[in-house]
Amino acid sequence: MIACDTCLIRNRAICSVLDDTEVAGLNRIGRRRKVRRGETVIWEGDDAPVVANVLTGMLKLTSVTGDGREQIVGVSFPSDFVGRPFGAGSGNSVTALTDAELCVFARSSFDAFARSHPALEHELLERTLAELDRAREWMLLLGRKSAGERVATFLLETSHRLGRQNCSTEATDPDRFDLPLSRRQTADILGLTIETVSRQIGRLREAGIFLPPVRRTTEILDRDLLRAEAEQG
Amino acid sequence: MIACDTCLIRNRAICSVLDDTEVAGLNRIGRRRKVRRGETVIWEGDDAPVVANVLTGMLKLTSVTGDGREQIVGVSFPSDFVGRPFGAGSGNSVTALTDAELCVFARSSFDAFARSHPALEHELLERTLAELDRAREWMLLLGRKSAGERVATFLLETSHRLGRQNCSTEATDPDRFDLPLSRRQTADILGLTIETVSRQIGRLREAGIFLPPVRRTTEILDRDLLRAEAEQG
DNA sequence: CGATTCTTTGACACCTATCAATCTTAGTGG
DNA sequence: CCACTAAGATTGATAGGTGTCAAAGAATCG
C-alpha cells in the first residue's frame, strides 16, 4: 500500500498515464507536503529544486518587478503540475492562495524519472502546451483589453475553470462558485489596481449581470451580457 | 541524399536530437514551403492542420479580439518550431514578418512520428517550457510595466534573441542589429499604440541611449542606461 | 465587541490613446 | 535618374481611462 493508492488525483494528475508499478516508482521519490495560505513553495530566480503535483488547494505563479509590482502569470488547481523541470531555474514564484497539499519531488529525481518514462513526458508536454495556450490568450487580455473587458473575461474564465475542477457527481451550477481571491490577487491577475477592479465589479453588479461575493460565493446573473462585456466592455 | 542533409538548421531545430535514420523518416512526411512577407501560414481558430520548423525568416504568432485589436504573443526565428501539435486547434495565427522558408508537416503525421520518438518529444517539451517562461515574463511586461519600460525591455530582449540567432563565425556586435519590424508590429508586441512607441523611441534617441533604424539597422548606444530604463523608465 | 484587514467610494492627476497634420521612407513609372 | 505616389513614421493637441491618494465603510477574527 503506497500513498498514491489513496490519492484523490491519481487519475487526473500526470500520474494518470503511469501503471501501478510506475506510480510506485514515482511514489518512492516524492513526499507529501502541506502548505499554509500565503506560504511560498518556490521562489522566483531560485534554483527551484522542486516540482510538484497539486493535491488540494489553489496556488498562484507570479512574476515581480524589481520595485515590487506583481503579475500573477498562472493559477494552479488540484491535479495541476507546478515547477520548472529540466535545466532552467524557475522564472516565477509559486505561492499558496489557500491552504494546500502538494506531492513534491526533488527536481533532479523527477527529471531522471521523467526522462525514462516517455508517457509521462508526453503528458507533461500536452499540459505545457495547454498552459502556453492559456498564457498567450491572457497576453491578449493584458495587452489589448479594457478594464471592463478584463474583469468580465476573468469571471467567465474563472467560472469555467472552477466548473471543470468540481468533480462531484451531481451537476453543479456553473454560474455559482466560490472565489478565494482577494481584490489584490484579482488585480494582479488582470494587470489592474484593486480600485479599478472594484469599480468594474460594482458596475456589473449595478447592471444586474453579476453578484459579488457573499461569504466568498459569487454568482453570474446574466451570462450572455457578461460575454458581451468580455468582448467590448 | 535527402533534403535534411543540406538543411541549415539541422543541428539547431528539434531534429538535432534525431539520428540520420530518424531524420530520414521525418523528412519523408515533411515538405519545404516558401512564404512571402505578410502571408499567414496558420489561422487562429482553425483546425491548424500543420506544424513546421522555421528554416529562414521571422514569423509572428498573434491573438486577435473580435473587433480587430491584435496582440503579438510570440516571434519565431530560424530553428524554432511553430504550430500546435496534439489535439487542440491553434489558438493563434502564424504570419510571416519577412519572406520565410518552412519545413512543414501535416499535424497528424507529425503527432504520430513524435509519439514514437521520445527524444523528439523531450526536445519539444524543453522548447515549450522555455517558450512558456518567455510568455510569462512578457505577461509581467504587459500587465505591469510603463511604456518606457516596455520599449527598453523590448530592445534588450530583441538584441539578445537576434544575437543568439546570428551564427556567423566572427563575433558580431550585440548592440547593432537589423530590426525587421514596423512600428505597428512593435506596438502589437508591446501592447501599445504606434504613436506611444514612436515617442518612447524618440525619448531614448534624445537621451543618447539608442539609435533608431537607418535602413533597418538599429544600434544600442548605452546598454547600461537602457537596462535602467527597462527596470523603471 | 474591538481591532485589523480588506473593500468601496470619491477627487484628482497622469499616462497613454485618439485624432489630425506633417514629414519621411519605399516603391513605381516616366 | 527623378518625380510621383502610397505607406509608414513622427510630432502635436486633446481627451479619456486608469492609477494614485485619501477616507469611509464592510468583513473577518480573536
Cα separation, B72 vs B31, whole angstroms = 27
Cα separation, A35 vs A57, whole angstroms = 9
Of B118, B135, B137, the CB nearest to A136: B135
- Beta carbon pairs, A and B, within 8 Å: 127
- Do the beta carbons of residue B61 and residue B134 sit within 8 Å? no
Please check the confidence at residue B18 and state whether its pLDDT lies above 60.
yes
Residue A202 beta carbon within 7 A of nucleic strand C: yes
Residue range B98-116, pLDDT digits in tens:
999 999 999 999 999 999 9
Confidence label for B48 from pLDDT (cuts 50, 70 and 90): low
Q: What residues contact B77, with CB distance under 8 A and at least 6 apart?
A: B54, B58, B161, B165
Smallest CA–CA distance, residue B121 to chain A, in Å, is: 7
Q: How far is CA A145 from CA A148, A150, A191, B44, in A?
A: 8, 6, 10, 18
**How many angstroms separate the CA of B57 from the C1' of C30?**
35
**How many angstroms separate the CA of A196 from the C1' of D19?**
8
On whether any CB of chain B is under 8 Å from the CB of A187, the answer is no
Please check the confidence at residue B171 and state whether its pLDDT lies above 90.
no
Task: Fill in the DSSP letter of residue A60.
Answer: E
Q: Which three cell numbers stand for residue B225?
A: 542606461
Residue B143: predicted pLDDT: 98
Cα separation, B92 vs A127, whole angstroms = 17
Residue A163: predicted pLDDT: 79
Of A63, A88, A118, the CB nearest to B136: A63
Cα separation, B174 vs B167, whole angstroms = 12
Sign of CA dihedral B146, B152, B158, B163: negative
Among A105, A230, A43, which Cα is nearest to A155's? A230
Residue A91 beta carbon within 7 A of nucleic strand C: no
Q: What residues contact B122, with CB distance under 8 A and at least 6 apart?
A: A115, A118, A121, B17
Q: Which nucleotide is nearest to B182 (CA to C1')?
A: D8
Does the beta-carbon distance from B142 to A139 stay under 8 Å? yes
- What is the value of pTM for the model shown? 0.95
Choose between B168 and B135: higher pLDDT. Answer: B135
Smallest CA–CA distance, residue A119 to chain B, in Å, is: 8
Sign of CA dihedral B38, A142, B74, B65: negative
Task: Kindly list the residues from chain B whose CB atom is less than 8 angstroms away from the CB atom of residue A74.
Answer: 136
Residue B172: predicted pLDDT: 75
Q: Which nucleotide is nearest to A198 (CA to C1')?
A: C8
Residue A69: predicted pLDDT: 96
CB-CB neighbours of A101 under 10 Å = 18
Residue B169: predicted pLDDT: 55
Residue A179 beta carbon within 7 A of nucleic strand C: no
Among A141, A150, A138, which Cα is nearest to A196's? A150
On whether any CB of chain A is under 8 Å from the CB of B46, the answer is no
Confidence label for B141 from pLDDT (cuts 50, 70 and 90): very high
Cα separation, B86 vs A130, whole angstroms = 10
Residue B167: predicted pLDDT: 59
- Do the beta carbons of residue B78 and residue B47 sit within 8 Å? no
**Segments in chain B forming alpha helices (H):** 20-29, 107-115, 118-144, 147-165, 183-190, 194-206, 223-232
**How many angstroms separate the CA of A225 from the C1' of D23?**
34
Smallest CA–CA distance, residue A169 to chain B, in Å, is: 27
Residue A216: predicted pLDDT: 75
Cα separation, A151 vs A208, whole angstroms = 15
Residues in chain A where the model's pLDDT stays below 50: none
Residue range B1-16, pLDDT digits in tens:
678 889 999 999 999 9
**How many angstroms separate the CA of A151 from the C1' of C22?**
40
Cα separation, A79 vs B77, whole angstroms = 34
Residue range B177-198, pLDDT digits in tens:
888 899 999 999 999 999 999 9
Does the beta-carbon distance from A71 to B144 stay under 8 Å? yes
DSSP A151-175: HHHHHHHHHHHHHHH---SS---TT
> In whole angstroms, how large is the CA radius of gyration of chain A?
19
Confidence label for B213 from pLDDT (cuts 50, 70 and 90): confident
* Element holding A42 (H helix, E strand): strand A40-42
Please check the confidence at residue B201 and state whether its pLDDT lies above 60.
yes
Residue B223: predicted pLDDT: 96
Of all residues in chain B, the one with the smallest CA distance to A136 is B73
Residue B189 beta carbon within 7 A of nucleic strand C: no
